Structure 1
């Protein structure tokens, strides 16, 4: 790997080291629509902060006996499935030094939202059209170009994603901070949103975490008696 390729990761690690002391091992919960950016970002942050990485949906699936078993469990006993999601979050929230990619179940109940209050929650907001193209590329046997956006299939995927997004938006909005890919792209002067990297997003997440820890410290100092 060249020095040029190393530079973005080194910048992320440098920023992570700057906030590490103030963070004091507080866990980070990433919420938002499932996508490769969110997953890659979670793994990158965990590496930079020297944290452990977990995907809450993956843990629920593992407990259920695999992806197919988890889907069957959800279809036949939704309450039981939701209870499993809560149990996973309960265990994760009791630990420190974690970066957790939280599934949608994390924002669907007041109990789960309260559990994430044991850490810092960040909404990773990625445009739905990017998510739709990612889904279609993953499912297709051949590469699907941006021209897919004019197809009926793309429209169907967008409609389904929009439905989920609007159901979850209120829950996502309870996060301590939001990091929008579109906003990061605008700040970097990127017209093509796909050129925004996980490293770019990680820097923004770390800046938000730094801001939140500073606010918390100020509030704690203000509450101290004279």
Structure 2
């Protein structure tokens, strides 16, 4: 079952990357695509049997149309693009911490500003499994097969450049997946657990049984139980979140902008903060390179 799941993920990814006419200049597509971000040490080949995919995604619509008021985001993206040199960006979202609409909008806004492609790794995994309900069923009946699908999707994504990838908890649940994230720049989108629980309750999202510790028992009911269960999952995964190159805290962004309500933070606010973190990382890399130069 595990082999079948990973094979499906491989074929789904190939369907997304059939050759089509690109919507942006060919010179942009032909730029070198790094296999890893230069901040990290070289990694051994994790999957030599899977060839890298370099053609344009057929199923994606790239318009590069930024929303009103996003000119500052575009300007910031233009500043850091020459330094990025096509390095992919992995956005790690915790436990469905932001609803799917906001999650997608942040990723797409960054992709448009950087002239990158946008992917949601969880959506690709669901497609590989045959849909959302099939993915849920596989996760409950064959967790290893489901995790293999997640890893296969990440392998394919990490083999390419010029991508903004929205990744879920699965991206930090194994050493293999964490190593794959290091082929790009990873940013953890840190959302307060209280807000995560609120969103899950409003959207009717349940934490899969496979993600809960069987040793835990909960006396709470209703909303308190959701929060308690979520706190357990967060404790188990925070080590993986912490391995990201940088984090963007929703609470910190709201404080910096003078917002009393976290819901007041916009997609543009989060995207700008991500770009600032990426710029900080690239500047740090440059300083380290200059410090290492001989006199």
TM-score, scaled to structure 1: 0.87
Contiguous gaps of at least 5 residues in structure 1: 141-150
Deviations 1:129-160 (A, max 9, x none): 222222222239xxxxxxxxxx9522122122
Partners of 1:53 and 1:73 in 2: how far apart? 26
Structure 1 position 45 matched with structure 2 position 107:
no
Structure 2, gaps ≥5 residues long: 1-66, 206-219
Aligned residues: 211
1:220 aligns with 2:285: no
Instruction: Give the whole-Å Cα distance in 1 for the aligned partners of 2:126 and 2:284.
Output: 37
Question: Is 1:96 aligned with 2:161?
Answer: yes
1:163 Cα shift?
A: 1.8
Is 1:126 the equivalent of 2:183? Answer: no
Deviations 1:20-79 (A, max 9, x none): 111111100011312223332112111111111111111111011111111111122111
2:240 aligns with 171
Per the alignment, in what secondary structure is the counterpart of residue 189 of structure 2? strand
- Partner residue, 1:144: none
**Residue in 1 aligned with 2:267?**
198
Output one character per residue of 1:101-131: Cα deviation in whole Å (capped at 9) or x when no partner.
1121110111111111010000100112222
Partner of 1:143 in structure 2? none
More helix by share: 1
Root-mean-square deviation (CA, aligned residues, Å) is 1.8
- Measure the CA separation in 1 of the matches of 2:87 and 2:274: 14
